[in-house]
Amino acid sequence: MIVLPFPPSVNHYYRRTRTGQVYLGPQAVAFRERVHLEWLARSWMPLEGPISLEIRAFRPRVVGDIDNVLKGALDALNGRYFVDDRQVVRLLVHLDHDPACPRLEVTIECVDAPPDRRKRPARAVAPATGKRKPAPPRG
């Protein structure tokens, strides 16, 4: 389990300049630096392949949505504890209240790849006619 500081709200995570450019706000930079220091202390190599995340979020106040916690946390873990947040195939989030010690408790596990349901069975093309052969029956 990895214990991290509680992330800033998404409302304070990103800032915009007058010209519309987006940048990380000071709270987001400080949060990412603390996550980076925790990662350095662990000497953790980023995991590859599909992963499962369980996050217990102990927030300082009873305000905000559960999804506000996720954006900052996943962005900070990305590239350190796992290669890319696209690897997350399972995500379980518990939201608790602890004003004395707000934090995230993160558990990361490698999992088997789920079947890709978007892929359809390939259909062979008959070489002479160019017509499709029917897909083989599923067994």
Whether residue 87 lies inside any domain: the answer is yes
Q: What is the pLDDT of residues 87-105, one digit of tens each?
A: 999 999 999 999 999 999 9
**pLDDT of 124:** 47
- Is residue 134 in a domain? no
More confident residue, 14 or 56: 56
Chain-centroid distance of CA 59 in Å reads 19
Please answer whether residues 53 and 79 qualify as being in contact, where contact means their C-beta atoms are separated by less than 8 angstroms: no
Does residue 136 lie in a domain region? no
CATH number reported for the structural domain that contains residue 30 in this entry: 3.30.1330.70
Count the domains in the chain.
1
> Would you say residue 129 lies in a domain?
no
pTM (predicted TM-score): 0.70
**Could you tell me if residue 117 is inside a domain?**
no
Domain extent for 89 = 2-110
The tens digit of pLDDT for each residue in 96-135 reads 999 999 999 999 999 986 555 545 444 444 455 555 556 6
Residue 139 lies in a domain: no
Name the E strands within the chain. Answer: 2-5, 14-16, 22-24, 51-59, 88-97, 103-110
**Would residue 99 count as lying in a domain?**
yes
